[in-house]
Amino acid sequence: MKNTAAVPPATSVTADKVISAYIKTRDLIAEKKRAYEAEVAEMVAMQDKRSKWLLTEIERLGAKGLMSNAGTCSVVYKDSATVSDRTAYLTWVHADWENRQAFLDSRANKTAVKALVEGGDVPPPGVNYTKVKDVQIRRK
């Protein structure tokens, strides 16, 4: 019996065309992002000046905030904590582990786990390690 199944038509899609279109679109996205950032840069700078003026006014008045017909503003604090001396910090934490262990985040170092797995070992207990396959597109 002869196979009468339809043969799919030859496609005009090629790796060269898809990669070229990908790079073109990626460049267009980057260009639009740059244009947007440039377009709003002046407005962002003006908002920063306004925020600084309002903070100065709040401080000048000795207030916690300001109210107006247009809205309200109040002082908020944004905290940041970074480690400048890892050894000193870890020594401090370990000196009173029972009371200070909360000062450390519980997360695995991806680079160290990757090196361990690539060296033929399994991930440490309690750590899930996954590797996702994707493509990377580079310009010629």
In a domain, 61, yes or no: yes
d(C-alpha 124, C-alpha 109), whole Å: 11
How buried is 12 (Cβ within 10 angstroms: 0-12 exposed, 13-18 middle, 19+ buried)?
Answer: exposed
- In a domain? residue 5: no
Q: 40-75 pLDDT, tens per residue?
A: 999 999 999 999 999 999 999 999 999 999 999 999
Are residue 110 and residue 60 in the same domain, yes or no? no
**Is residue 119 a part of any domain in this protein?**
yes
User: 120 lies in a domain?
Assistant: yes
Residues 46 and 94 in one domain: no
Domain's final residue, options 46, 74, 102: 74
Domain count, the chain: 2
Which domain covers residue 95, as residue numbers?
83-131
Question: What does 106-123 look like in DSSP terms, one character per residue?
Answer: ----HHHHHHHHHTTPPP
Same domain assignment for residues 63 and 94 = no
Residues 69 and 21 in one domain: yes
pLDDT digits (tens, 9 = 90+) for 121-135: 999 999 999 999 888
- The answer as to whether 101 is a domain residue is yes
Q: Is residue 7 part of a domain?
A: no
Any domain includes 97: yes
Using the 3D structure, point to which of 26, 45, 74 is the last residue of a domain.
74
Residues 19 and 70 in one domain: yes
Query: Mean of the pLDDT values across residues 91-105?
Result: 94
Q: What is the pLDDT of residues 28-41, one digit of tens each?
A: 999 999 999 999 99
Domain match, 27 and 57 both: yes
Mean pLDDT estimate for the chain = 91
> At CA 115, angle to CA 110 and CA 121, rounded to 5?
110
- In this structure, the number of other CB atoms found within 10 A of the CB of residue 41 comes to 10
> Is the pLDDT score of 3 beyond 80?
no
- Tell me, yes or no, whether 136 lies in a domain: no
